[in-house]
Structure 1
């Protein structure tokens, strides 16, 4: 892909619309986007509300992770969430509630976010974030990927049955996920509309 991309061209994501006049500047842009996506996810994780009886809080990080993947594309999205996960596992206190490390029961959701960022980024590069309905499907699939990793990890790490893990690690979050998806359904297609030059 060239350093600069035409707005709305097939195979582009929102981040490709940021100008870069050379391959070197494009690499610098990409590095800044990867770091910025990790920081955004870390900041969003601090919007954390405990769920009674569950070790997994409601946070903004899932929304941020899916937004980062969609806006940056699969390669940069995975790099960004990989940086977020690796730095937090190494001790940077930017997981939910200022936590860090990899031994907490909710770490599986972070791994799920990493995988989901690649999935939604792959779909966004194929136009999955350009209409409301497509964005809804992409967000739903991304959320499903997060739970597909996070819930079994929760069951394993907290010694829960499958039923308990679903009760504590999935059901309390479905309404919040629907609201986050609605935000994405408004924001991403709108960003594409704004990126098109006026006639």
Structure 2
């Protein structure tokens, strides 16, 4: 191959190696972003849990903002990253850090009446995220009701049935008593899911790339 004077000499092997190495920084950036988002939402869950809970008369399970954080993680991050954020939060709590309601921590919480709600959280975040991903292609005007519907479905199918079952078992309630007691949390969950969908809609409006990455 002839060489034109004044032009830099570039071998064929050096040009061939550029495409092979170029995508690597992008892959690392994507993984780093995912890790940062998962860690951020796990921390958000901890904040939601340790805020002063509202005690319910006659029940050992207080009202907290945990379900708001769980639903928001699923709606914004999608099924995989949302459930990972919740699992990270639970792992930190079970390890002994006081990140559960009332500043509690450790595996001892699995023996409490609220254990079912905690165990249902990662599954609920996954389902909410899965449904939200399916609704990601709807028109912007319909995004808010779609996200709210995703959060409510996950709450009604997973959080409430599992939470009520374990609560009734731990407190020695009959099925009717447990369902009646669990129903006291439903109005609050509706409000928290409305807020989670509202925040998720605002986040997607401000960061449309995040909406695409959640699919």
TM range (shorter): 0.7 to 0.9
Change (3 A) 1:104 1:160: same
Change (3 A) 1:110 1:183: same
User: 1:184 & 1:114 partners in 2: Cα distance?
Assistant: 16
Asked if 1:103 is matched to 2:107, the reply is no
Change (3 A) 1:196 1:81: closer
Asked if 1:191 is matched to 2:196, the reply is no
SS across alignment from 1:26: helix
Partner of 1:139: 151
Change (3 A) 1:89 1:160: farther
Aligned alpha-carbon RMSD (Å) = 2.1
The alignment's TM-score, normalised by the length of structure 2, stands at 0.75
Q: Map Cα deviations across residues 22-65 of structure 1 (whole Å, 9 max, x no partner).
A: 11121121112111111111110123111111111110010100
Gaps of 5+ in 2: 1-23, 210-215
Asked if 1:174 is matched to 2:186, the reply is yes
Q: Judging by fraction of residues, say which structure has more helix.
A: 2
- Mapping of 1:111-150 within 5 angstroms? 111-127=119-135, 131-144=143-156, 145-150=158-163
User: 1:104 & 1:51 partners in 2: Cα distance?
Assistant: 15
Partner of 1:3: none
User: 1:158 & 1:77 partners in 2: Cα distance?
Assistant: 31
Q: Would the aligned equivalents of 2:71 and 2:193 in 1 still touch at CA under 8 Å?
A: no
SS across alignment from 2:134: coil
Q: Would the aligned equivalents of 2:148 and 2:193 in 1 still touch at CA under 8 Å?
A: yes
Which one of the candidate residues 165, 170, 175 is aligned to 1:157? 170
Q: Map Cα deviations across residues 145-191 of structure 1 (whole Å, 9 max, x no partner).
A: 211211111122222211222222x2211221121122133222233
- 1:69 Cα deviation from its structure 2 partner: 1.0
Partner of 2:34: 30
User: 1:73 & 1:46 partners in 2: Cα distance?
Assistant: 24
User: 1:158 & 1:104 partners in 2: Cα distance?
Assistant: 9
The alignment's TM-score, normalised by the length of structure 1, stands at 0.81
Structure with higher Rg: it is 2
